[in-house]
Structure 1
């Protein structure tokens, strides 16, 4: 007879148990994930996640209620009922998993990662909900046979029972492999969740490095942008209108050099700060050129307000100026003063009042100046001249030429670099006389950025993106090996192996902050491979099997390392590599007896009924 507990279990109560635990687990996981990736506009939104999840999950509860009622009233045996219930749960998990994945795609703006994460979260919640209620489900479907009078079985009944037993054994083995494959696939998706947190950890460490660089740069000097020398000449136009009314208009004219030659030498300095290294520099910049002032429209020198006229040099961060700046005009030296008029060339810099030197501003005016300037990583110039040549050199071996113009000639070697830019009136969209003082010259900037070649965070981030490949192929390999060797691997063991594969990335991230990325990758991969190989040796009791699995995982990590180091050809090499891996997997699994019967037939051989 059934116990009182078994009789008290109803389809409504059991479906509510499974549904409630699934909703609780899913809401908790989604809330933790959204708070971690920081995509919520307001923290109070997390309180609505359980309500929204419960509302959207009501159809699943209704389907479970109907399915449990139909299965309870069916004439199937207990195992068949359980099999059909599992399929209902798998279909619900896949359907809702697709929906959850699409929702996270919209919130997260990452198609693949967001989709797989949502799918994995929902199926993990369903899995936990069913596992926790396993004993209740078994009690619900448990039906004891009623005693009947003994009857001597006939030969036909014996043969029929044998055939039924063979079919049952065949289906049980087939379902066992299928269920194991589904569980393995769900574990692969579930273990992608830690990789999301590792990606966030990489971004956090990268942001911390940027904060340290900014902190040091703010005390030293930021990346510098220099405008070059130019003349700021305000003037007054007066006269009378056609009606005889007098007028007076104040205007400004910016005069750029007709010829300019700039030579810059950068001396890099690497300053350690905590575990990070900040790249700074000192530079010596020599400016030479010549102005040619001629009447332009309503402008001539007699109209200039010399008390407000300036010779200007804009510098983006004047904190980097190391010593006083002298400029030579017509073989006479003058000291530049801080402050510049408002123009589109920058908001800070140095200028020289021209009131005392107005007599030299007549006809061609040559100038020369040396500027010693500190900065961080970047040095840019604005090509403000009719015809100009800019030369930048440094012993730093890893420059990045950026901005609106690339150098015409450059030489880069282990001993440093030298780059040269040439401009003329023909290839610039402005002339040497600018009446618009709001002219935005910043978009014409060019120069170099000294980069540190060991960008461990970018490489680690690329490695984490291949986590699904590493975990998926490793689990697939274990699944095939357990089918070949007939040595089952428990899902808990899959989880432990998956955690070892995941911890590899935290090892890689932490070690690469102290060593070069290549060495960090070697150490982290070696530790992970040794750990998994040792664990496999203990499970399969075979050194040969462990060595084979270790060799395959080693080649897999080597393949990922090659993809991380490549840039332009990573997609091509990765696609070819995946194709070869798939071919090897198909070749290695060609003799696997997926159905579990000895003769590997599509149908079990039934007993004769003769």
Structure 2
């Protein structure tokens, strides 16, 4: 009678279906600590961003180069009822050709354990203006030569490290703070062109030598009819962004070089205009380069944590197949311990990557977690062959994840192919199992039947 009463309980104990339900429930339950870990990663990333902003606020912010722009006041006079009214408008002229060449030397500054990328740059700006006369000639009296100026825009003036060498027509000019055309160039410096007799068609060459420091980004506004920019840097992790990508680039282990060429027809503003007509259009044409911080590794940590369910599911599948094929009986608590060990991989990854490079942190975390799970499985499987297979599966999973993280553009393709291979392998291994007659661990437990 007792044996008859115990048979339903024993049947449940060794039920494959029940075990699968429990394993699935555990896998979903482990999404809670995984979500908490992702929240921790996001918090650390936020703290890192704040640290980088603080570093930039003390050093110099991202820099955007605008200009130079020649501004000549035009005088108009109108007569009405015997009274003469004088109107003065700013006539802005852009360079006919603009060439910018420079070197960007990055530095790493720390704020606690967080790091930010800053740089020093040495820029040579050359080109020439051509005085145009495409403005409205009605009621035109003449130029106000005494107020003419050339303005040059720099986003954060704290980044100017040395005296600016500004040469026009072979003459070194005194550089003054402020642009005087704040709606066109909000921040920068200028030189006076007072008493220069401007003539239509006249060419005015210029040279500017500027030592400028900034953080993270260096951008340019194409003000030349033809704008050529060439940048060299030993930084190996650039990101080219903005309205225009480089016409040519070369990225090596020693750094990068990039060259841009922007024509007048590529932008949405002309070579000259009156007052502030195209001030907003200038901003929309910006292009340049970001120096990616090493702490972009937080993004990789976040992306890796999103694969937690796949890694946990694959490990649980391996344990379940050992139960089915090896006639072992593994308790759900033991599944949970293995799942928590995998979750700890992601918190280890982000914490170690704050101290060393991401790749080394990934290697250390993988060895720690895979080693722990394999040592734990030895007492569960009692067969070294199964533990070796488990180690291979885990190393393959984390290796696959690492490759996927490195290939951001092909992450979806790699992920889908990987899942397909896992499913196909599982189907092949379990193709001959009769699930209707299958029970778990009976040969080891030897229950009364």
TM class, shorter-length? 0.7 to 0.9
Q: Distance in 2 between matches of 1:409 and 1:485?
A: 59
Residue of structure 2 equivalent to 1:560: 401
Question: Which residue of 2 is the match for residue 128 of structure 1?
Answer: none
**Cα distance in 2 for residues equivalent to 1:542 and 1:395:** 53
Evaluate the alpha carbon distance shift between residue 344 and residue 385 of structure 1 in structure 2; reply closer, same or farther with a 3 A threshold. farther
Distance in 2 (alpha carbons) for counterparts of 1:448 and 1:422:
14
Using a 3 Å threshold, how does the CA distance of structure 1 residues 543 and 395 change in structure 2: closer, same or farther?
Answer: closer
1:268 aligned partner:
106
The answer as to whether partners of 1:533 and 1:546 remain within 8 angstroms in 2 is yes
Point out the structure with max Rg over C-alpha: 1
More strand by proportion, 1 or 2? 2
Judge conservation of contact 1:328–1:367 (CA < 8 Å) in 2. yes
CA distance in 2, matches of 1:338, 1:462: 46
Deviation of residue 366 (structure 1)?
1.8
Q: Is the 1:228–1:287 Cα contact (8 Å) retained in structure 2?
A: no
Residue in 2 aligned with 1:391? 230
Give the structure 1 partner of residue 299 of structure 2.
458
Shift of 1:381: 1.0
Partner of 1:80: none
Q: Secondary structure at the match of 2:211?
A: strand
- Distance (Å, rounded) in 2 between the aligned partners of 1:262 and 1:422: 10
Residues 237 and 375 from structure 1, CA distance in 2 versus in 1: closer, same or farther, beyond 3 angstroms?
same
In 1: Cα distance, 2:25 partner to 2:37 partner: 20
Query: Is 1:358 aligned to 2:196, yes or no?
Result: yes
Alpha-carbon distance in structure 2 between the residues aligned to 1:173 and 1:259: 83
Cα deviation, 1:219-272, whole Å, max 9, x if unaligned, reads: 11111101121112233322135x776544332211111222222222222234
Cα 1:170/1:590, change in 2 over 3 Å:
farther
Distance in 2 of aligned mates of 1:496 and 1:170: 25
Q: Provide the residue aligned with 2:442 in structure 1.
A: none
2:276 to 403, 425, 437: 437
Task: Kindly indicate whether residue 405 of structure 2 is the aligned counterpart of residue 534 of structure 1.
Answer: no
Structure 1 residues 545-554 or 456-465, which shifts more?
Answer: 545-554
Q: Does 1:569 align with 2:410?
A: yes
Instruction: Please tell me whether the aligned partners of residues 316 and 346 of structure 1 are also in contact (alpha carbons under 8 angstroms).
Output: no
CA contact (8 A) 2:48 2:295 kept: no
> 2:74 touches 2:88 (CA, 8 Å); kept in 1?
yes
The equivalent residue for 1:251 is 89
Q: Distance in 2 between matches of 1:221 and 1:367?
A: 27
Deviations 1:494-531 (A, max 9, x none): 22111111001111111112222222112111111111
Q: Measure how far apart 1:339 and its partner are.
A: 0.9
* 1:396/1:175 CA distance change after superposition, 3 Å: closer
Q: Is the 8 A contact 2:91 2:275 kept in 1?
A: yes
Residue number in structure 2 paired with 1:232 = 71
Following superposition, the deviation at residue 488 of structure 1 comes to 2.3
When residues 329 and 342 of structure 1 are mapped into structure 2, their CA distance, relative to the original with a 3 A threshold, is: closer
Q: Deviations over 1:301-344 (max 9, x none)?
A: 95334454321001000000012223222222111111122445
Give yes or no for contact 2:179–2:186 (8 Å, CA) kept in 1: yes
Given the superposition, is the C-alpha separation of residues 186 and 204 from structure 1 closer, same or farther in structure 2, using an over 3 Å criterion?
same
Task: Please give the alpha-carbon distance, in whole angstroms, between the structure 2 residues aligned to 1:412 and 1:487.
Answer: 54
> Higher relative CO (CA 8 A, sep ≥ 6), structure 1 or 2?
2
Seen in structure 2, the aligned counterparts of structure 1 residues 214 and 170 have a Cα distance that, compared at 3 Å, is: closer
Report what 2:249 is aligned to: 410
Aligned to 2:158: 319
Taking structure 1 as reference, are residues 503 and 310 closer, same or farther at Cα in structure 2, changes over 3 Å only? same
User: Relative to 1, partners in 2 of residues 1:498 and 1:185: Cα closer, same or farther, differing over 3 Å?
Assistant: same
What is the alpha-carbon distance in structure 1 between the residues aligned to residue 53 and residue 214 of structure 2? 12
Give the count of matched residue pairs.
Answer: 434
TM-score by length of 2: 0.88
Separation (CA, whole Å) in 1 of partners of 2:26 and 2:215: 47
1:201 equivalent in structure 2: 40
Counterpart for residue 286 of structure 1: 124
Shift in Å, 1:554:
2.0
Change (3 A) 1:361 1:332: farther
Sort the Cα spacing of 1:333 and 1:315 in 2 relative to 1 into closer, same or farther, 3 A: same
Aligned partners of 1:422 and 1:549: how far apart in 2?
55
Deviation at 1:175, TM superposition (A): 8.5
**Mapping for residues 41-120 of structure 1, pairs under 5 Å:** none
Match of 1:525 among 342, 347, 366: 366
SS in 2 for 1:335: coil
Provide the C-alpha distance between the structure 2 equivalents of 1:426 and 1:176, rounded to a whole number of angstroms.
73
Measured against aligned partners, the alpha-carbon deviations of 1:328-384 in whole angstroms (never above 9, x if no partner) come to: 2222211111112244543210012333x4347773222212111111121111111
* RMSD, matched Cα: 2.9
What is the CA–CA distance in structure 2 between the aligned matches of 1:418 and 1:473, rounded to whole Å?
44
> In the superposition, relative to structure 1, how do residues 551 and 326 fare at CA in structure 2: closer, same or farther (>3 Å)?
closer
Equivalent-residue separation in structure 2 for 1:234 and 1:215 (angstroms): 41
Provide closer, same or farther for how the CA distance between residues 488 and 435 of structure 1 changes in structure 2, counting only shifts above 3 A: same
Task: Structure 1 unaligned segments of length 5 or more: list them.
Answer: 1-160, 599-610
Is 1:588–2:426 an aligned residue pair? Answer: no
Q: 1:386 to 1:369 in 2, by over 3 A?
A: same
CA-CA distance at 1:595 after TM superposition: 4.2
Q: Which has the higher helix share?
A: 1
The corresponding residue for 2:61 is 222
Structure 1 residues 480, 417: CA separation in 2 closer, same or farther (over 3 Å shift)?
A: closer
Asked if the contact 1:475–1:494 (Cα under 8 Å) also holds between the matched residues in 2, the reply is yes
Partner of 1:33: none
Change (3 A) 1:372 1:302: farther
Q: Is the 8 A contact 1:480 1:592 kept in 2?
A: no
CA distance in 2, matches of 1:271, 1:257: 37
